[in-house]
Amino acid sequence: MSAHDRHGPLVRHEQVHIADDSPWKKLPMAFGAIGVGGLLVAFALKGSDPAKFWSSYLTAVMWGLAITLGGLWFVIVQHAARAGWSIVVRRIAENLMLALPVVAALMLPLVFLGTHDLFHWSHPEAVEHDPILKAKAPYLNEGQFHIRAFVYVGLWTAFAWAYWRWSTAQDTARDAAPFSHKMRRWAPVAIISFALSLTFGAFDWLMSLDPHWFSTIFGIYFFAGCVSAVAATIALTVILLHRSGYLRGVVTAEHFHDLGKMMFSFTVFWGYIGFSQFFLIWYASIPEETYWYSYRGHGDWLTLSLVLVFSRFVLPFLGIMSRKIKRNPRTLAFWCVWILVAEFLDMYWLVQPALAHTRGVEHIRPDLFDVTTLVGVGGLLLAVFTWGLTNRALVPLKDPRLEESLNHENF
């Protein structure tokens, strides 16, 4: 392995740069076109049922946010912990994080145009005769809702852009150390801002869909999904890059093993948080808390709830447990795709029952809104992500501890 050669570079240029004639170079434009096309079709269809459209749109954006917010979390937490193992996969997470400002900005049209269609609390006439909503009005009102949306999007954009700039600028810097110091020094600030903005973002955009209901653990529930989704996306991307001949001998079975462990642990964490939320509400049995689960427990929604329990926890828990499965790219790739699909189901399960409940609909019919918004959001996310992959080195070349990461081994 070149990593043992102390005199040459740690990684060869062609291992970590995507060649100009590679099909990867065409992806940003292709995904961009697909994404813009998907969103245009979605918005063109919007008139037929605006509330359902915004519901599907929110599902897709929250799924994109789970992956990209996970990217930001991955980067800042590795800096804060001064982790060595993750340096060779950090750039993948940084490129996902680069897509965060775009995906987060997609939230703004909804906040300004779709609030009345989705959020019951945004109707003053409804709030007037409702003591619970009246009490929540100082927080849940449109003015504050708009301002908070700008704060979340602004914070995420600032941190994502700053960390991406610092890390990519380090690749060509004469003196690499100050960049590492800067990224580490800012990491705790970023983590605290991230934790607060993610929690309140999940309250605003997911929990307040049903404004009478509340759960203090809700932000952490969303966060658990973010982390397993980003670990799955990173591992899947590396497996695809390996197939094209990149990062071979740079990202090894040892790093796959660690990413698999992260997927596994946050699958368990998701189950733990999801059950804790359900358990307390079930046990106390207070009507204004239980009804959120009650209408997810009827008709097709009950089926989806059970599918979610098995697809998001039980099956991956048993499936990713083995060391062999985590270290084999084929089996790991299967579970990466599985986790990403399950994460989408989770967002669907969080967002869409609210509207179905107000309309008294107990069946689930995936429609064109669901497809086009997912294609739109996914396309834009992947366009920015693959732009980052194809236009910068695939690993932080001048990170002072790159060699440690290349030689990383699990016990």
Using CB under 8 A as the binding rule, the residues of this chain from 350 to 409 that contact other proteins are 409
Q: Minimum CB separation from other proteins for residue 279, in Å?
A: 6
Site string for other proteins, 309-328 (x = CB under 8 A): ------------x-x-----
Stretch that binds other proteins, among 97-105, 189-197, 272-280, 325-333 (CB under 8 A): 272-280
Q: Which token pair is 401?
A: 């501890």
CB of 142 to other proteins, least distance (A): 38
**Cβ of residue 322: shortest distance to other proteins, in angstroms?**
8
- Smallest separation (angstroms) from other proteins to the CB of 282: 5
- Minimum Å distance from CB 283 to other proteins? 7
Interface residue with other proteins among 4, 23, 169, 282 (CB under 8 A) is 282
Considering the complex, what minimum distance in angstroms separates the CB of residue 269 from other proteins? 13
Of the candidate spans 63-71, 169-177, 271-279, 328-336, the one that interacts with other proteins by CB under 8 A turns out to be 271-279
Q: Which residues between 170 and 209 bind other proteins (CB under 8 A)?
A: none
Using CB under 8 A as the binding rule, whether residue 285 contacts other proteins is answered as yes
Selected from 134, 279, 307, 366, the binder of other proteins by CB under 8 A is 279
Nearer CB in complex with other proteins: 150/279: 279
Which residue, 182 or 327, has its beta carbon nearer to other proteins? 327
CA distance 193 to 190: 5
C-alpha count within 13 angstroms, C-beta hemisphere, residue 166: 22
Question: How many Cα atoms within 13 Å fall on the side-chain side of residue 128?
Answer: 3
Q: Which range of residues in 43-51, 80-88, 274-282, 358-366 is near other proteins by CB under 8 A?
A: 274-282
Count the Cβ atoms, other than its own, within 10 Å of residue 356: 20
- Applying CB under 8 A, the site for other proteins has a residue count of 10
| Euclidean distance between CA atoms 297 and 300, whole angstroms | 8
CA distance readout (Å), 343 to 60, 69, 313, 381? 11, 13, 11, 16
Residues 6 or more apart from 184 whose CB is under 8 A from it? Answer: 79, 80, 82
Amino acid in position 210: D
CB of 321 to other proteins, least distance (A): 8
Residue closer to other proteins, measured from CB, 7 or 283: 283
In this structure, the number of other CB atoms found within 10 A of the CB of residue 352 comes to 22
Contact status, residue 296 vs residue 305, Cβ threshold 8 Å = yes
Q: Are 118 and 54 in contact (CB under 8 A)?
A: yes
According to the binding rule CB under 8 A, does residue 138 interact with other proteins? no
Write out the two tokens for 56: 């599907």
Question: Is residue 293 close enough to count as binding other proteins by CB under 8 A?
Answer: no
- Closest CB 409 distance from other proteins, rounded Å: 4
H/E element holding 333? Answer: helix 329-359
What's the one-letter identity of residue 348?
Y
- Quick one: which segment of 165-173, 278-286, 287-295, 397-405 binds other proteins (CB under 8 A)? 278-286
Residue 6 binds other proteins (CB under 8 A): no
In the three-class reduction of DSSP (H, G, I as helix; E, B as strand; rest coil), residue 121 is classed as: helix
Those residues whose C-beta lies under 8 Å from the C-beta of residue 345, and which sit 6 or more positions away, are: 304, 307, 308, 311, 312
Contact 62, 110 (CB under 8 A): no
> Which residues contact other proteins (rule: CB under 8 A)?
275, 278-279, 282-283, 285, 321, 323, 409, 411
